[in-house]
Amino acid sequence: MKEIKDDLSIVKDLQEKIKLIKNEVGKKIVGQDKVIEELIISLLCKGHCLIVGVPGLAKTMIVHTLADVLDLKFNRVQFTPDLMPSDITGTEIIEEDPINKKRGYRFIEGPVFANIVLADEINRTPPKTQSALLQSMQENKVTVNGVTYNLPQPFFVLATQNPIEQEGTYPLPEAQLDRFFFQINISYPTEIEEKEILTRTTGILNQETKKVVHRDEILELQNFIRKVPISDNVIDYIIKLVRMTRPKENLKNEFVNKYILWGCGPRAEQTIVLAAKVNALINGHFAVSVEDVKKIVYPALRHRLILNFQAESEGIKPDEVIRYIIEELDNKF
């Protein structure tokens, strides 16, 4: 009975903390509530995010503000064609001991040694450098010259991509895209929000944010997420949903076979389960429902769906395919 009470207090605490985070981030960021919530969900699930949006939508400011509010160390790396793996992970330098005059190697940590790392325009750097970051994301470690260094926890990578400039870029391979927990799309603000942005950014008002959540609290919440129960019924729904994205397993569905080249794998199912657990807690219930799944399925799947040439030629987007699959599944489930 005591354990249940403790769990309920953690749920209430999580809701309060997320409310505080949103309020503080909102002092500098106008709108984008859904984006901020999806970033928080990904962080609590120990996932990483790919952020896609045109220039000028405050992608960098959102991430920097979130790091300030969470009291986490933040580093930003501008990805360029000449960026080397060591520019991210760090390098060893030769030093001479001033006393015994002996020379030795000393490791200089790269910008990846932070709690929140912003990889700005990740598709502007060659695959070798991209892989250095993606390995850190997967293993939470960096290995240089045979020596392994642990990265600080929590460790949260946010990579940005510009969807309108493709010349001179190196798109992430599909297998590497799958390592991102969410793909978060940032859209233009509404007219009312745009007016508020202009008022704030061209005047003298400058609201400072407060640190409302600390590192140890985040680690505690990350560990708690996996304790949230999920029924077999919801698990079955998730499995059916993801399996419906696979053309070879869905031969009778003309829409899926017409537009999807490759569907999603088990990692997508794991993402949906964890994200739905956090969404359930945010909304004040200690059990995952199908509605929780539907709210987070788009950022979980949109970068894992590989559409074919026909979909591209007809302007079909991953979100349209996901919406169709959910509607089909709801009619059968």
Q: Are residues 184 and 266 in the same domain?
A: no
Q: What is the pLDDT of residues 117-130, one digit of tens each?
A: 999 888 888 888 88
**Is residue 24 over pLDDT 90?**
no
Please state the pTM of the whole predicted model: 0.87
Asked if 288 contacts 276 with a C-beta cutoff of 8 angstroms, the reply is yes
H helix count then E strand count, the chain? 14, 11
Q: Which of helix, strand or coil describes residue 229?
A: coil
Domain end residue (candidates: 225, 254, 270): 225
- Give the pLDDT confidence score for residue 1 in this predicted structure: 43
Q: Are residues 108 and 243 in the same domain?
A: no
Domain end residue (candidates: 225, 248, 263): 225
Q: Are residues 215 and 86 in the same domain?
A: yes
Mean pLDDT, the chain, integer = 84
Q: Are residues 91 and 51 in the same domain?
A: yes
Q: What is the CATH number of the domain that holds 245?
A: 1.10.8.80
Q: Which of helix, strand or coil describes residue 227?
A: coil
Backbone angles phi, psi at 5, to 5 degrees: -60, -40
Asked if residue 157 is part of any domain, the answer here is yes
Q: What is the pLDDT of residues 56-66, one digit of tens each?
A: 777 788 888 88
Asked if residue 84 is part of any domain, the answer here is yes
Q: What is the CATH number of the domain that holds 175?
A: 3.40.50.300
Asked if residue 122 is part of any domain, the answer here is yes
Helices 290-301 and 232-243, axial angle in degrees (round to 10)? 30
Asked if residue 7 is part of any domain, the answer here is no
Q: Over range 264-285, report the average pLDDT.
A: 91
Q: Are residues 200 and 108 in the same domain?
A: yes
Helices 2-25 and 33-44, axial angle in degrees (round to 10)? 140
Q: What is the pLDDT of residues 218-266, one digit of tens each?
A: 888 888 888 888 999 999 999 999 999 988 766 567 788 888 888 888 9
Domain that includes residue 303, residue range: 227-333
- Give the pLDDT confidence score for residue 255 in this predicted structure: 80
Q: What is the pLDDT of residues 321-332, one digit of tens each?
A: 999 999 988 877
